[in-house]
A and B are shown apart, each in its own frame.
Chain A
Amino acid sequence: MKTIHINKLLAIIEVKGKALFSKNFIIMPIFSLGMTYIMKLAYGSISKEIDMTGYYLSMGVLMNVCMTGVYCVAACLAEEKEKNTLRTLMTSSVNGLEFFLGSLIPVVLLMVIVNVLCVFIAGFSMTITEWLCYVAITTISSIIGAVTGMIFGIFAKNQMSAGTMTTPVLILFMLIPMFSHLNEIIETISNYLFTGVIMNFINHVTTKVTLTNPLELGVLFLEFILTVILFLVLYKKNGFEAN
Chain B
Amino acid sequence: MQPETTPFLPLTIQRAVFRPRKEKSPDLTVKISSSLYQSKRVNQQVIHRPISQMIKK
Say whether A associates with B. Answer: no
**Residues of A with Cβ closer than 8 Å to B?**
none
**Residues of B with Cβ closer than 8 Å to A?**
none
